[in-house]
Amino acid sequence: MRERCSPLNKPDGLFLASPFINNKQLGFDLTIVAVGDKRYIEIERESGKERLVINSVIKRVPCVAGQATTCWKVYQEGDPHTLLVVKNSWQYLERKEESELLRKATEKRVKNVARYFHHETVCVGG
Cα separation, 8 vs 11, in Å, equals 7
Q: Which of 51, 59, 43 is nearest to 75 (CA)?
A: 51
Handedness of CA 86, 126, 39, 41 (dihedral sign): negative
Dump pLDDT digits (tens) for 7-52.
444 444 445 555 667 766 666 667 788 888 888 988 888 888 889 9
Note the pLDDT of residue 125. 58
Note the pLDDT of residue 114. 81
In the chain, where the domains are located:
2-123
Dump pLDDT digits (tens) for 82-124.
998 888 877 777 777 778 888 898 899 999 888 878 777 766 6
C-alpha torsion 31→53→114→96, nearest 10 = 0
Dump pLDDT digits (tens) for 75-85.
999 999 999 88
Task: Indicate yes or no: pTM above 0.75.
Answer: no
Give the residues across from 57 on adjacent strands: 72
Are 72 and 88 a contacting pair, CB within 8 Å? Answer: yes
Burial of 98 (0-12, 13-18, 19+ CB in 10 A): middle
Dump pLDDT digits (tens) for 54-64.
998 887 777 76
Note the pLDDT of residue 79. 93
Note the pLDDT of residue 108. 93
